[in-house]
Amino acid sequence: MEDDKIVQLYLERDENAIKCSSDKYGTKLRAVSLAITSDAQTSEECENDTYLQAWNSIPPNEPRTYLYAFLARIIRHISIDRCRERSSLKRDAFIEELTSEMEMCIPAAGNVTGNLEAKELGEAINGFLHTISAEKRVMFVRRYYFLDSISAISKRCAVSESKVKSVLFRTRNDLRKYLIKEGYAL
Amino acid sequence: MKKENLLDSMEYIDVEMIDEAENYEMKAKKYNWLKYLGAVACLGICVVAVITISSKIKISNIPMMSDIASNQKETNPGVEGITEQQGETISGAGEIIEKPVEIVPGINNTVEMPYDGNSDAGLDIKMLIGHYDADLNAGDIAVNNGSCELSNSLKAAINELGSDVNYRVIVEVFQDGTVIDSGSAEVLAEEVRVTELGYTVAHERYTDRTETLDYFTIHATAEQILGFEVNEIYGYYLSLYDEYLGIAEPMEGYVFVTANENYVSDEDYPDEFQKIYEALGNALAVGDLPFVTDVVVCENPLRIEIDVDTTDEAMLEKLKAYDPTGEYFVVNTQ
């Protein structure tokens, strides 16, 4: 079923919306969650919570043309929160690693508790991502949005792991310079 | 915002980017090996292309090649306008080819240009290329022990250009299908082995405040690449330099380490040097020294060669302040 029709079911408060969402995107969404939580059971819980949150947020939202991205954003958020809440998942080191990588993009690192808000930074990153090639953008988004491993990105993009590391390394440096240029030095 | 919430900022990227990243799946293209084999048979009669040399190819900074470069000057005293950086000398298997690099009028010779396939033919020169047809992706990167795989771009470059140019190549070493860190002792040992086989080897290390990346590179002829002699306990994946690194322009804050048979780990560098090296890298990373165009760490003797595009005394003093002993910096004004 097309996204537009699934969203229409949500808007009409038809519970088939959840089944259709699950049929169409369930596997992908669980994969997103699994990459973050590294736990199959938790990823299933996150998937169910995602549909519930989607049910509660459509309306007012109407993601007719971007339903997958809408659901992916929800499950990513839920999965990261779940990792933070449950130390038993042992994903602290992974989240910390990615956070540290992100931190290095920020001018005046170590002082990110300043005035910069997540939304403001996110919009700046969004602007930066529009300036780089698709390949670099995909690798960056896979790493810091989907929290993919280097190995997974390597397979998806058909390049070596070393190239993925190189591209991410350089893209982080470029992002840092972009943020300085755009006046985001804290 | 707290540091812990940095990842949350990614929630604000456009949905199109999320879809793009989700649907992006590049399948490795298989290069036409029949065409490739045909080209191998025709090595030596291929068209010679005009390709400029990247400023990153610092022949004068590669210790094992510096003597050769000096010899080149002596044997080519009549060549004018060719600097050490622009000249090229390649040490092949059992032979040394000494020829100047053609400078293409109207092209900024500090920027490496991709081969466009339409360049002039018939130039009797040997050049080093590190970039060819960026649209070709990596190819099969699962390399078994005892075998050597070439990237699609490298195959295509050899097919087109054959033995009329030399190739700047990144070597990745695998063991049991897993890539080995190029900064490891195993790979450094491989660099020594390959050096002894007659290859020109350069070890590059790029670093910023977050991590360090090492690269095992060779400058090789088509014959050396096609006949790459493997160590049976490893697999090898060879790709063109700028295909691998993605972009050609040098990055601020990067440090280039050359390697030869005397290569030593940077952990063996004096603490004083380490501190200077780190401080310089940090200054470059945050843009404090915008007039610095290139930084090269050289050994024997240990020093940091720095290219700058200014002669302003105040700026040069600012740079030199990072080397309080005055012992390590060699500043080259361009």
Q: How far is CA A184 from CA A175, B41, B107, B143, in A?
A: 11, 57, 36, 44
Give the tens place of pLDDT for each residue, B48-99: 222 222 222 222 222 222 232 233 333 332 222 222 222 232 233 223 222 2
Tokens of A101: 């990588």
Q: Which residue of A has its CA nearest to B253?
A: A173
Q: How far is CA B222 from CA A65, B59, B118, in A?
A: 50, 20, 21
Question: What is chain A's alpha carbon radius of gyration, rounded to the nearest angstrom?
Answer: 18
DSSP letter assigned to residue B140: -
Give the tens place of pLDDT for each residue, A71-101: 998 999 899 888 888 777 777 778 888 888 8
pLDDT < 70 stretches in chain B: 1-4, 25-142, 206-212, 242-268, 296-301, 334
Element at B160 (helix H, strand E):
helix B152-161
Q: Does A80 sit within 8 Å of B24, measured CB to CB? A: no
Q: Does B138 sit within 8 Å of A118, measured CB to CB? A: no
Interface test with B, best of A67, A82, A173 (most B CBs within 10 A): A173
ipTM: 0.85
Cα–Cα distance for residue pair B185/A69, rounded to 1 Å: 44
Cα–Cα distance for residue pair B292/B255, rounded to 1 Å: 12
Residue numbers in B near A107 (CB within 8 A)? 286
Query: Which of B1, B19, B172 comes nearest A162 by C-beta?
Result: B172
Interface test with A, best of B7, B215, B244 (most A CBs within 10 A): B7
Question: Cα distance from B138 to chain A (closest Cα, Å)?
Answer: 5
| pTM of model > 0.90 | no
